[in-house]
Amino acid sequence: MATGVWLIGARGSVAVTSMVGALALRAGLAEPVGCVCELPQLRGPALPGLSELVFGGHDVVTTPLSKKAEALAAAGVLPGRLVTALTDELHAVEDDLRPVPEGDRQAEVAAAMEADLAAFRDRHRLDRVVVVNVASTEPAAAPHPAHDDLAALVEALAAPGAVLPPSSLAAYAAFRAGCPFVDFTPSTGARLPALDELAVRERVPYAGSDGKTGETLVKSVLAPMFAMRNLAVRTWSGVNLLGGGDGANLADPAANAAKAASKQRVLGETLGYLPQGTTRIEYVDDIGDFKTAWDLITFSGFLGTPMRMEFTWHGCDSALAAPLVLDLARITAAAHRAGRGGPLPELAFFFKDPLGAGGHSLAEQWAILCDLVRRLGTGPR
């Protein structure tokens, strides 16, 4: 199953780490550490193979892929030897990257995007193309009446002016081109009634939002632990120090608020009450691509005895995110092949702010994911 992976934000850290990694795995230069789909529970013929993935994408900047890859190697995100070894492969991918189309009317922009997707599919004779949003997090989008109804949306897009934020326009273009859409960011993406209507109509699946890679991942196992033991969490307060491109963007309070809220949601929903405390995000240039998060949890046990736990997480966000991007592309492609359209809430395992009303316990999400992949393996092609 030759599968295209079209990355919105294709020259960013997550995108380039994903591409270098997939190329390295194909070339036998690395082990699939961090690739969930390579675990015994998920591996199988239902999913496209890692070597069947073909990359392309949009970005607003023009930094050459090889330069970005070198920067990531210098920062310790990638081994430099891989970048050297994969120079040719990266140059080949470069040919499949396109600038984000521009235009006065968003309908034109979307049409140009669709054309880029179709050309990519044809050029490489792909069975399907999955669009994955790994662009910079947007500020929260302004509401617009056309968001709620597909017909109204089509009409509004044809007029001048911005109706959809970029992430949602990308989803719109993807759906119109018959491509599944995955939102790895906290941006709006496909989460508008009009876009859901389109995805369902076109029978293309979509997944999101906001890849779960660090502190929230830890929360999604620790919060259930406190809940299962009936311990009363009093305070859960955390700070995330991060640098890199994404960090600078999140220092923008508007983007920050969206992200912080999705980080705290897991607690309320898992515990059944919201402990005191907040999650703060702070930009520290020197931290670079390695994030340090510290969380303090105070809780009381039997007869009120006060206790505490704290943890420090020192993770490389791009290295944690990249294999999940590959996983998501593969599973979403398989879901598309199996005839699924509309939201894929079964992928909550991967997201901080998952679609649907399921729980936030990682273990439950894992069971649901395993079940989905098993069914995809036996379902209709």
Interaction between residue 56 and ligand NAD (CB under 6 A)? no
Please name which of 269, 273, 251 lies closest in space to residue 260, comparing C-alpha atoms.
251
CA–CA–CA angle 369, 207, 31 (5° rounding): 60
Among its own copies, ligand NAD, Na ion, none, residue 284 binds (CB under 5-8 Å by kind): its own copies
Please say which residue, 311 or 366, places its beta carbon nearer to Na ion: 311
Among Na ion, its own copies, ligand NAD, none, residue 253 binds (CB under 5-8 Å by kind): none
Which residues in 136-195 contact ligand NAD (CB under 6 A)? Answer: 136-137, 166, 184-185
| Cα gap 195→341, rounded to integer Å | 12
Cβ atoms within 10 Å of 120's Cβ, excluding its own: 22
Interaction between residue 282 and its own copies (CB under 8 A)? yes
Place of tokens 């995108």: 15
Phi first, then psi: give them for residue 66, nearest 5 degrees.
-65, -35
Please say which residue, 67 or 123, places its beta carbon nearer to ligand NAD: 67
Please say which residue, 49 or 101, places its beta carbon nearer to ligand NAD: 101
- Part of the chain binding its own copies (CB under 8 A), chosen from 36-44, 51-59, 186-194, 261-269: 36-44
Please say which residue, 1 or 185, places its beta carbon nearer to ligand NAD: 185
Contact string (CB under 8 A) for its own copies, positions 241-260, x = contact: x-------------------
Q: What proportions of the chain, in percent to the nearest 5, are helix, strand and coil?
A: 50, 20, 30
Task: Give the containing element (helix H, strand E) for 132.
Answer: strand 128-133
Q: How far is the CA of 359 from the CAs of 104, 174, 346, 371, in angstroms? A: 42, 28, 11, 16
Give the nearest distance from C-beta 87 to its own copies in angstroms.
16
Cβ atoms within 10 Å of 245's Cβ, excluding its own: 17
Interaction between residue 38 and its own copies (CB under 8 A)? yes
Please say which residue, 33 or 119, places its beta carbon nearer to its own copies: 33
The DSSP bridge pattern shows strands 181-183 and 342-343 to be: unpaired
Among ligand NAD, its own copies, Na ion, none, residue 237 binds (CB under 5-8 Å by kind): its own copies
| Cα gap 20→5, rounded to integer Å | 13
Among Na ion, ligand NAD, its own copies, none, residue 218 binds (CB under 5-8 Å by kind): its own copies
Q: Select from 26, 176, 234, 374 the one that contacts its own copies (CB under 8 A).
A: 234
| Cα gap 339→175, rounded to integer Å | 14
The DSSP bridge pattern shows strands 279-283 and 205-208 to be: unpaired
Contact string (CB under 8 A) for its own copies, positions 321-340, x = contact: -xx-----------------
| Cα gap 303→286, rounded to integer Å | 45
Q: Select from 59, 89, 183, 295 the one that contacts ligand NAD (CB under 6 A).
A: 59
Place of tokens 């979307």: 110
Interaction between residue 62 and its own copies (CB under 8 A)? no
List residues near ligand NAD by CB under 6 A: 8-9, 11-14, 58-61, 100, 134-137, 166, 184-185, 210-211, 213, 244-246, 249, 317-318, 320-321
